[in-house]
Amino acid sequence: MKTAIIIFLLLVIVIQGLRRHTLERGLRQAAQRMRAQIANETTVRLALPCPSAGAEELLVCLNDLLELRQSEKADYRRKEQELRRQIANVSHDLRTPLTSILGYLQLLEGDDLPLEKRREYFQVIEGRARTLQTFIASFYDLSRIEGGELPLEREKVELGRALSDQLTAAYEQIEEAGLEMEVDIADHLPPVWADSGAVTRIFSNLLTNALRHGSDILSVKLYREGGYIISSFSNRADDLTAEDAAHVFERFYTADKMRTGQSTGLGLAIVKALAERMGHTAAARWEDGWFTVLVRWSV
């Protein structure tokens, strides 16, 4: 009987020793895999042969930490690439008017330059300077909007009246651009809760975008759809694609087809940021040569 007990105890000791050896070897392998993951920046889930309940719980925590680390690194890379892209685009938008200004200033240095040419160059310099001023102001405004630093006071706003005012103010510009206007503003639309200044900015930016990039026809609509009022700005844009429409709200979106030397890629970004700050949404689509920007205003 004693012999059987001794043999049983020896077996238990041997089994426990084997389990400890197996667990220790598994831990070493897991550590090696973790080091390899850190070195190679690959995603590896750790596992142990014959783990205990405590070791299994520890592995779950370690795997969660590894996944979190990988997610944070991927997010950091994405933000770093986005920052670099934005810096490159800001540099482009600053450099273009500045280069033009410097070039015309050099031309003005000529003593034999006719007075008419001198006036013409001064007008060009002024125009480029205003473009630069607009860009810097828009960049600052967008940063404040996205950071929640721009104060907005929500009140009941009549969208029909605000849109009509903007269309009237832009009438001469629309004529100069050679655009045929199609306006359809529904009657008896309820007011929406919004900041009146932000609403004006949204409609102004949408008109400016259409004037810069549109051709032939500009269609502006305001109508009710369920629990929303939809403001729609559509224009012919055969040089754009559906892919462009998917990115136009991105800050400094600079598809070559949209960059004309005047666009900074900020106007539509401001539209989306302002709409969302007020609890509304903005979307864009391109279909059969028509580019449309819609703002869905919650009633």
User: Rounded CA gap, 124 and 136, in Å?
Assistant: 19
User: Is the whole-model pTM more than 0.85?
Assistant: no
Mean pLDDT of 19-28: 61
Render 7-74 in DSSP notation, one character per residue.
HHHHHHHHHHHHHHHHHHHHHHHHHHHHHHHHHHT-------SS--HHHHHHHHHHHHHHHHHHHHHH
Name the domain boundary from 47, 75, 103. 75
Shared-domain flag, residues 244 and 125: no
Pair (128, 182) in one structural domain: no
Tokens of residue 88, six digits: 């490159």
pLDDT in tens, 202-254: 998 898 888 877 778 889 999 999 999 999 999 887 777 777 777 778 766 65
Q: Provide the edge-to-edge strand list for the sheet that holds 215-225.
A: 180-185, 215-225, 228-236, 290-298, 281-287
What integer pLDDT is reported at residue 80 of this predicted model? Answer: 75
Residue 3 has pLDDT above 70, yes or no: no
With a pLDDT cut of 70, the percent of the chain lying above it is 72
* Residue 196 falls inside a structural domain: yes
Position 102 in a domain: yes
> From residue 225, how far is each of 177, 194, 195 by CA, in Å?
31, 18, 21
**pLDDT recorded at residue 248:** 79
Mean pLDDT, rounded, for 111-120: 86
In a domain, 140, yes or no: yes
Query: What pLDDT band is residue 256 in, cutting at 50, 70 and 90?
Result: very low
| Lowest-pLDDT choice from 40-44, 92-96, 138-142, 284-288 | 40-44
Whether residues 190 and 273 fall in one domain = yes
The most confident of the ranges 125-134, 194-203, 207-216 is 194-203
Check whether residue 266 and residue 289 sit in a common domain: yes
Clarify whether residues 125 and 69 are in a common domain: no
pLDDT band at residue 282 using 50, 70 and 90 as cut-offs: very high
**Is residue 257 scored above 50 in pLDDT?**
no
Using pLDDT thresholds of 50, 70 and 90, give the confidence band for residue 261.
very low
Chain-centroid distance of CA 32 in Å reads 40
Same domain, 118 and 55: no
CATH number, domain with residue 133: 1.10.287.130
> Would 151 be classed as within a structural domain?
no
Q: Do residues 97 and 208 both lie within one domain?
A: no
pLDDT band at 111 (very low <50, low <70, confident <90, very high): confident
Tokens representing residue 11 in the block: 């077996």
pLDDT in tens, 34-88: 666 655 655 556 555 555 566 666 667 767 777 777 777 777 787 777 667 666 6
Residue 122's domain comprises 86-146
- Looking at the chain, the number of H-run helices and the number of E-run strands are 8, 7
CATH of the domain at 233: 3.30.565.10
According to the model, what pLDDT value does residue 262 have?
45
Domain closes at, from 146, 171, 192: 146
Given pLDDT bands bounded at 50, 70 and 90, which one contains residue 2? Answer: low
Residues 135, 266 contacting (CB under 8 angstroms): yes
Other beta carbons within 10 angstroms of residue 227's beta carbon come to 9
In this structure, the answer to whether residues 173 and 281 fall within a common structural domain is yes
Last residue of a domain, one of 14, 47, 75: 75
The reply to whether 130 falls in a domain is: yes
Among 92-101, 128-137, 148-157, 246-255, the range of highest mean pLDDT: 148-157
174 and 285, same structural domain? yes
Q: Are residues 111 and 200 in the same domain?
A: no
Task: Enter the tokens of residue 160.
Answer: 């029909």
Average pLDDT, the chain: 78
How many separate domains does the chain show?
3
